[in-house]
Every structure is written in C-alpha cells, then in structure tokens.
Structure 1
Amino acid sequence: MTASPTLDPTVVPATDVTPAAHPTHAGSAADSPWWRHAVIYQIYPRSWADANGDGIGDLPGITARLPYLRELGVDAIWLSPFYTSPQADAGYDVADYRDIDPLFGTLADADAMLARAHELGLKVIVDLVPNHSSDEHAWFRAALAAGPGSPERERYMFRDGQGESGELPPNDWRSVFGGPAWTRTVDADGTPGQWYLHLFDPKQPDFNWEHPEVRAEFEDILRFWLDRGVDGFRVDVAHGLIKEEGLPDWEESQEMLGGADEEHDERRPPMWDQDRVHEIYQRWRRILDAYNPVEGDTVDRNRDRILCAEAWVHPQERAVRYVRDDEMHQAFNFDFLTTQWVAADLRTVITSSFEAADSVGAPSTWVLSNHDVVRHASRLGLPVGSKRPNGIGIGDPQPDVELGLRRARAATAIMLALPGSAYLYQGEELGLPDSTDMPDEYRQDPAWERSGRMERGRDGCRVPLPWEADRPAFGFGPSADTWLPQPAVYGRYAVDQQEGVEGSTLELYRALLATRRERALGVGSFTWVEGYGEDVVAFVVDAAGERTLVVTNLGTAGVALPEGASVLLSSAPLAQDGTVGTDTTVWARL
C-alpha cells in the first residue's frame, strides 16, 4: 500500500456533516434475487490460466483456479467467448455457437467447469454474440455459395451496391474498428458481387434479425446452454441487432465502443438502439424464466437465470429500457466507467444511475474495467480531463503508475459500497495496470490495423495474468509461452506476492468484498452526506440494521470523519492526524 501524501494544513471538518433528508435510492428487500446485489467477476479465457502449456488460457485452467475466486469472495463468473472461432476478434467471431474451440478445450471441459463452479457456490454467465457471426459460420458460407436473392443470404445483411455497376457501398456506414462497414463479395464466375454489412471486422458479418430463422436459431442456442446448466448470458452489442429500415446514411464516425464519453448527438444512429430490438429480449426473458425452478407454488429466485446487456446507449433513460421487468435483468452502467475522477462528476453519475434504474425497478450495475477498455489502474493515472484512450502504447502519454493505482483502489472502494450489482475484471484485484509498453508487432486487436494503426486497441488489458512471480510466464501455465507478452513489472503484482500481505491490493479487495457481504451493502438504501464540500464524495448505505459511511477525498486537504465513526477499512492509510488523505476512500461504521 502506498504511503499517505503530504496534505494541505487545512482539514475539512466533519462538524456540519449530515445525511440528506431523503435517500436517493430506497434499497431492495433483504431476500432479493441474487442478481440484484451480486459481484460478478469477468474471466477472459485466453488470459486467465493455461493448463496445457500452449500459451493460451483454457477451460481446464479456469476450473483449476476457481477456488481462488471463492476465496476472493465473488458470487458469479462471466466468461468471454469460448466458442468455435477462427479468432479474428478473440472469439467474438463465432463459427459454431454450440461447441467449444479446441484452443479452450471441449464440451466435456465446459461441463466440468460448470460443475466445479456450482460446487463452489459460483454461478456461471457466458457470453452470447448475436449481432454477428464469423464469416466461417456454416450459414455465411452457404450464403456466399448460394448467391444473390437466395434464402441463405436473407439471414445476413446482403445488399446491392450503388453506382453504375454496384461499385459503391450500399450506404456510408463506418465500422467500429475503422474503415467501411461493407465488404464486397466475389461471385462464382469471379466478377464483383453484392456487399455485406459488418459493423465490426469484415470477418464478422451482421445477422439479419428481421429474419425468423435467425430469431429461432438464437432461441435454440439459449436453450442449449441453459440445458447444460449456465446461469445466464452477457449479450454482446445488445443494442445493435435491429437496424433502421432502409439503412439510411449516417455521416458520423463509429467510435470504438460507441464513443461513450463524447458529447451525445440527439439523433439516434440507424444501426444502434432501435426500438424493435426490445421485442427480441422480451421473448428471451420468457425462455429464461421458464427455467427457474419451482418448488410447490414458489419460484426459487436465487436460482434465476439472467440476461445482462452490453448496450452503449445514451441517455440513461433509454439505456434502462433494456432492463424493464419483462426484458433483461441487468445492463452495464458504462456512464459510471467513463466518468472522470472529479467529485462532482461522480456524484452526478451515481445519482442519475440510481434514478434511471429505479424508474424501471432494476438494480444499477457498477463497473470500472473490462476486456474492452484500458484498465482503471492505468486510466486513472492519466491527467484528469484526458480523452479515454483505446489502448496505450510506446510513444503515447504514459500513466502515473502510483497515482493510478491509488485512485483505482479508492474508486473500487466507492463502487463496491454502492447498492446494486458490481462487475470486476480479472486482474483488477491485483492492481494490474495495462501493458502500456507492448511492442506494436505483438498486437492482435483488429482495431489496430483497421484504424490505420491510429488506435492501439485492447491488447493491453488482455495480457495473461501473473500468478507466481518466480515461475516462467509468472505461473500462467506450465511453459514460458504466452499469447501476448507479459510486462516484466507484472511479477510484482503476482498473486503469490500479495496473498496474506497486509495492505496489498488483493487483500484490500478481499476485505471490501467480505465487508460488503457482511453489511449487506448490495441491497441497502443510499443517502448522500452533505457538508463536506465539492472535492469529497460521501454517502451512507443503510442495510441490515447497520449504517455504513463512505467518504472519498479527491481534494488536497485532509478530510475529518464524524465523531464516533469507527473505521472499517480504507483504500490507503489514514493521515497521522486520522484524516482521510487525497485519493482515499474510507468505510466507517456509524
């Protein structure tokens, strides 16, 4: 744990500090379904643990390491795709939704992983990629072979081109990964043919979700995995399935992840968040609800199968439409992830998040890192106000490592105190930074080449985990091979360097998760604390008959705790005078 910084002599007093008259969020019942308050840990299978020594993480590696997550204190795991895939986009280009890619193992390995997770009391959520398939999917191969006007092509978004001989794309849409969102086919006789839509890579053709066969196929895929025992699905690009009729031009660029931290145009892009997408999820919800166990006349809500939307949608009022009570259970709260390290901004986004989710009776979710963004231990080490980068590499502005970790620990302590559900990304509990000095020749994210090498992409947050500092590949597997190079500094973050070490980031996470559970913070009511000033985020969570005060200091003056407050834990040591230092979060019993 880093030492406390030198503070201004001024101390923000606590004499006039008091909770607001009314809570911002009323909380949930103590016996609420598990997903309303769960902490869910994302595993990126390629980078979690390698059992066979080929340098790529696999399902047996995950199974072997699951006890670590039970000890960490999470409730569930979410796995990024492990399906059969040519791996053009790290598995988000699926060739077979009902089988496991040999890189990761077999269906039997998946069954063993599910059984072991359930044995340990961990629920398992798997990724579902419905917006697009791989161009090596049997349906797309059949579509290319069948030609224009065929029923096979109706399952995808094939269109004739514009121009005298169809030489121009059907519209001006751009790919999220850069370049045009259309690729032209070549007919059997070698002449140029129709174009197909891919909002991402050309090897990821978009499905036509107006087609009943596409809808029926995915409903069957849901049942296939539910029958094998999965506890839910994280739905990739959930806002992209339905496109506006006629595919009108859209002159705006497609930023990575929707440019979620930019100013938002009042117009809705014709490829995102179309109203009729909700009818798809209403059908899916009925399928999942049918799997809920019923004992007598009672449904066991702690065994609910759930849906979580990855939907980069603005404003929040539209985003929460995905979690109305007949659609998904959760949606990622990306507004929280993209908020700057500014107290006023944090207060605003937390309030608006509760208000939006409460308006439809859903839990808010909280997340700071995932496989698509720079880890928050690095992101928060950049100057406040910096544009959120899509990857950091050699020659880019580099984060302040110590500052980033200190702020990351404080931010996590805010997040895990907030009522609702929280998502953790593998390795954040170790304080892992992004790999920001990875040589460009190792990069595999398609965003790197498709953007004309303008965006480094997501490889930096996907580097294999360090488990043991003194072993080859830091204990990632039995060999020294890793599919992406690990920075030398990862050794100091290895699990075996932090277990049992007071003040380590791993032990902080374990303490946060244990205290969150003990004090039922996930179902509590939330009330802002007034009187601290503009550089402080302070609130009270009331649950299980206990009141927990949370104070985060983003300013330079020390912040005093109220008289009688008993410190439960702190993201960094308190100052010598007992005040909360800069970039520190404290949980205290009132």
Structure 2
Amino acid sequence: MAHPPWWRHAVTYQVYVRSFADSDGDGIGDLPGITARLPYLRELGVDALWITPFFTSPQHDHGYDVADYRDVDPLFGTLADADALIATAHGEGLRVVVDLVPNHTSSEHAWFQQALAAGPGSPERARYLFREGRGPDGAEPPNNWASVFGGPAWTRVPDGQWYLHLFDSTQPDLDWRNPEVGDLFEDVLRFWLDRGVDGFRVDVAHGLLKEASLRDQVVAPGEEPVSGADTSGEQSMVERPARDEPMWDQPEVHDVYRRWHRVLAEYDGDRMSVAEAWTQTPESMARFVRSDEMSQAFNFAWLLAPWSAEAFARVIRSSLEQLAQVAAAPTWVLSNHDVVRHATRYGGGPVGVARAKAATLAMLALPGSAYLYQGEELGLENVDVPEDQRQDPAWFRTHTQWRDGCRVPMPWSGDAPPYGFGPGTGQPWLPQPDDWARLTVEAQEGDPGSVLSFYRAALAARRAHTQGLTEEVELLDAGADVLSLRRGALTVVLNAGHDAVELPAGDVVVASGELEGRLLPADTAVWLS
C-alpha cells in the first residue's frame, strides 16, 4: 500500500525570517540563523518549516515586495546560504516550504521599471494592470477598489495612467491574463524545485485574476469599498455575509494552479503547494484543492472562529464536509504573521494562554495537517509596539496597529533583549518587551509545566496516537460549552465554558492543563484513548 504524501498529515512550523534567528548581529533574522536553529525544530517535533520570503526586495513590505524571485536578499544571506539551509533541513528530517508571491512584484522589479519607462500601450505595461483614469482629465482612479492596507488601490504615474495595487503602492499587481506572467512563474517554480525545496506557500493565492472589466465593487449605499482579506478575527467565513469581490477568487485563477500542479508532478518527493486564499466560504476554499490543483489551502475559518465550542464545531463540520467532496485533506492554523496571536485573541494573560493551548491540542487531533507560527510554542502574545518603532506598511496607511505586534523577534535565552536572538546587545528590528526573560526557550526547556514542554508533549502524542487513525470525525453532544469529538480510538474534549465538566471514560493521553481528577477545568482540553 502506497504511503500518503508527506504533507497530508505534516505539522509545519512557520518561520518569519526577519524574526526567527539573527546570525550576524544586525538585529534582523537571516538564513544562516535559521540553519543554526534547525535542531530546535527537530526537537520540537515538527515535520517541515515554511519560510517567509527571503528573495531580493527593497523590504517595503518585509519581503512580500519581490524585486528578483531567483536570488536571496543580502539582508538574509546568499543563494549558497539557501542551499545550505535546504540541505541541512533535509539532513534533520525536515521539509522546506518557501513563500511565493505571485499576485504582485516590487515596484523595483525590472519589469515594473521597464513598464514605467515604456509608456502607455506598451507590451511592458501589459504585464501589469495600468489603466486610464476616470473623469474629464483622468484624475480619478479607474474604479473604486480599496487597498488591503487602506486607502485607494490605484496610484497615478507621471504620464497620467494609473496602476493597480491591492496592497501597498510599492506592490503593483501583475496581469495574469498576460501569458508572459505565467511563463515567468513557471520558471521561478522550477528554479527553486531544482534547488530542492519541497513546496510553496502561495501568497494571495485567490487574487491573481481579477474580473477582466475591472468594474466597480458594488457596495451598500453609504458604505465604503473594502478589501477581501479579512484578518480581523471577528467573524468566521461561515458566519459573515457574502460581499461583492470582483478583485478576488475569480474562476480563471484555477487554471494557474492546474498548470503549477503539472510542474510539481514532474519532480519526485511529493512536492506540494498550499494556498493563502482568504475566500468567503468553505466551498470556495475547497475549489483550490481539487485533485488537479493545489495540495492544500489554509483553513482560515478555524483561525477566525471565536473562543467558542459551538463555533469550533461548526468550522470542523463545514470544513470536513466541503473538503470530502474534493477528496482533499484539511489544514488547521491558529496564528500567522498577519494576524493577532491567538493567545491574545482569546483574552490574553494566563486565560488567553490556557485557551490557546487548549485550542492547539484540539487542532492537533484533527485529520489533515497543522501549521504552527513561531513563538506560539513559547506562549508569546501580541506586543504593543511603540508607535515610533512600528514598521508595518499598513500602519503608515491606516494608523491601525495590525501586524507588527505578532512579528516581534523570538526570545531564545538570557534575561534582557535581544534574548539570544542574535550576537548583538541592542534591541532587534522590532523591540522585545522587558519582561520576556521567563518566556525564552532557555527558561522553558527545563520546566515541565512550560508552554514549550506542552507543545513538545502534544506533538509527540500526535505522532504516537494519530498514525493510522481514520480521517472521519464524529462530533459528540457534550453541551453548548464543550467541544467533544471522536476520531477512531481517540476522544478529544475541550471545555470552553466557565465550570469544570466530567470527563468521559478513557485513559488520559495528554492534557493542555492540570486536571482535577476526572474533571476537566475551564479553558482546558484533553485527549483520551
């Protein structure tokens, strides 16, 4: 019997390259820093790491504005460093997933610079979405679309045309109806596959194709146009009302991933792709993982669900139902570099951390793969970064603190910043709090009651107790405040209420907190066999 692809049940650890480990003391994480810390990831018990973009970039959006997809930014190292990281990871038994950004390039990419020089109507401009403005003198944007980062999604160039950027103005959107764009990215895929990467996380996977007319977004009277990338965490995609989104999730985008699927299939080792697709429904998310498209898509419904047993149950039920129709494996994720850390979303402090551990334990029992975000295994919460230290481009456009707080560099050791993040003595690129000494890897490694020890135990339990289990999940009725599910011989109970509840029969495998005999306290989860 053939083994399933490695990614179908993997636990993948997201490395935010700027904030994981700094090898040269400049306060910014880099590829050699990651390589040096790979034994930590092996000991944690994950199967793969996903590394955020390290390609040549002016860093206006910290690497998600790519100027050269086939080279490493000197800030992070060299191509030789990338090769060494991949080889060392494989030697540690870890797969490597790199972050691909196909929706837009940097405004400093050679293509965009050529487009600006060539002028209206040129083949160079046809690689991007340049349009004439509206109004008598073309001084109004071509449509009413808003940028995800706030403000209009259009910027005017000196010759009078406008270009589309669904994110920052330094990130012009490519026109994926132009065959040159598809050819470029097939070459990029092959460049990194040939160097040994095991897969790609695809940024803004739902955004590559826009409605060809670039029509206005239809909004209710008195309302402003909004972007579709809802990372607020306030509503699950199974709860929020549908909205008109001509800039997202167009049917033609699936042709791109069918082509990519054929490219990956040419390489051995079960190479994979995972979509960052902020779709509106589980049904539309499932379309990205049909058998001839992408391997996986992030299940943001799980991330967006509030702390609620009923909400968790609805997401599990709807996700599994939709994915079963396309025979795809689910993914589960609670935090990443774009959202408030789940320990903070669930209330912060000891309660938030307890709930975060409980939700993670429930997640790790579910069929499919799980994604962890660096630092969650230390119980890190969002940091209120001082205004004069913030670097997120969304902050400069909206003055809303969005992403800096979850990107503060990892604390490894010591009792003061930079907590072993690098060999320097000052604060790293985003300042670390003064009270993180108790949260460092060094401080937690010898403490059996630490969050790190819990994560290691939970991941070990996953390896030991979920191998060969059915992918069928039975949701059990245990009351409105209790999530209870059965997967083969494993029963999982999560208490999201205020009072302790009695556990069903079974031996305790692992728990997210101290049990009270056969009672499961509030904000705690347990596996029973």
**1:312 aligned residue:** 278
**1:442 aligned residue:** 389
Cα displacement (A) at 1:254: 2.5
| Structure 1 range deviating more: 479-488 or 102-111 | 479-488
| Structure 1 range deviating more: 249-258 or 203-212 | 249-258
Cα displacement (A) at 1:413: 0.6
Cα displacement (A) at 1:449: 1.5
Does structure 1 conserve the Cα–Cα contact (< 8 Å) formed by 2:264 and 2:272?
yes
Cα displacement (A) at 1:562: 2.5
SS state at 1:423 partner: strand
SS state at 1:167 partner: coil
Out of 244, 269, 291, the residue aligned to residue 245 of structure 2 is: 269
2:493 pairs with 1:568: no
- What TM-score do you get using the length of structure 2 for normalisation? 0.96
**1:334 aligned residue:** 300
2:419 pairs with 1:474: yes
Say if 1:521 and 1:558 are closer, same or farther in 2 by CA, change over 3 A: farther
Say if 1:267 and 1:210 are closer, same or farther in 2 by CA, change over 3 A: same
Say if 1:197 and 1:522 are closer, same or farther in 2 by CA, change over 3 A: farther
2:196 pairs with 1:220: no
Aligned counterparts of 1:143 and 1:523: Cα–Cα separation in 2: 54
**2:74 aligned residue:** 102
Cα displacement (A) at 1:127: 0.3
Cα displacement (A) at 1:529: 5.1
Aligned counterparts of 1:264 and 1:524: Cα–Cα separation in 2: 31
2:175 pairs with 1:230: no
**1:582 aligned residue:** 522
The one-letter code matched in structure 2 to 1:584 is T
Out of 87, 92, 105, the residue aligned to residue 115 of structure 1 is: 87
Out of 462, 465, 480, the residue aligned to residue 534 of structure 1 is: 480
Deviations 1:418-473 (A, max 9, x none): 1110000000011101112x21111111111111x1x2120000000000033640
Aligned counterparts of 1:548 and 1:265: Cα–Cα separation in 2: 35
SS state at 1:149 partner: coil
2:117 pairs with 1:170: no
Deviations 1:287-345 (A, max 9, x none): 000112xxxxxxxxxx2000100000021111110000000000000000000111111
Out of 483, 487, 496, the residue aligned to residue 433 of structure 2 is: 487
SS state at 1:257 partner: coil
Deviations 1:117-154 (A, max 9, x none): 00001000000000000000000000001111111000
How many residues end up aligned between the 2 structures? 519
1:376-415 alignment runs, 5 A limit? 376-381=342-347, 400-415=348-363
Say if 1:342 and 1:291 are closer, same or farther in 2 by CA, change over 3 A: same
Q: Relative contact order, CA 8 A, sep 6+: which one is greater?
A: 1
Aligned counterparts of 2:24 and 2:37: Cα–Cα separation in 1: 14
Say if 1:488 and 1:472 are closer, same or farther in 2 by CA, change over 3 A: closer
Cα displacement (A) at 1:255: 4.4
Deviations 1:476-510 (A, max 9, x none): 00002300000112221100011131121101111
- What TM-score do you get using the length of structure 1 for normalisation? 0.86
1:239-254 alignment runs, 5 A limit? 239-250=206-217, 251=219, 253-254=225-226
**1:8 aligned residue:** none
Out of 285, 291, 316, the residue aligned to residue 267 of structure 2 is: 291
SS state at 2:230 partner: helix
**2:460 aligned residue:** 514
The one-letter code matched in structure 2 to 1:488 is D
Aligned counterparts of 2:96 and 2:138: Cα–Cα separation in 1: 47
Out of 44, 52, 71, the residue aligned to residue 80 of structure 1 is: 52
Q: Radius of gyration: which is bigger?
A: 1
Aligned counterparts of 1:466 and 1:558: Cα–Cα separation in 2: 34
SS state at 1:488 partner: coil
Out of 397, 409, 415, the residue aligned to residue 464 of structure 1 is: 409
Does structure 2 conserve the Cα–Cα contact (< 8 Å) formed by 1:177 and 1:256?
no
Say if 1:375 and 1:430 are closer, same or farther in 2 by CA, change over 3 A: same
Aligned counterparts of 1:585 and 1:332: Cα–Cα separation in 2: 23
The one-letter code matched in structure 1 to 2:462 is R
Does structure 1 conserve the Cα–Cα contact (< 8 Å) formed by 2:416 and 2:434?
no
Task: Could you tell me which runs of 5 or more consecutive residues in structure 2 were left unpaired when the two chains were aligned.
Answer: none
Does structure 2 conserve the Cα–Cα contact (< 8 Å) formed by 1:419 and 1:522?
no
1:149-228 alignment runs, 5 A limit? 149-187=121-159, 193-228=160-195
Percent identical? 59
The one-letter code matched in structure 1 to 2:351 is L
Aligned counterparts of 1:324 and 1:559: Cα–Cα separation in 2: 40
Cα displacement (A) at 1:549: 1.4
The one-letter code matched in structure 2 to 1:114 is I
Task: Could you tell me which runs of 5 or more consecutive residues in structure 1 were left unpaired when the two chains were aligned.
Answer: 1-28, 188-192, 293-302, 382-399
The one-letter code matched in structure 1 to 2:37 is R
Does structure 2 conserve the Cα–Cα contact (< 8 Å) formed by 1:417 and 1:521?
no
**1:394 aligned residue:** none
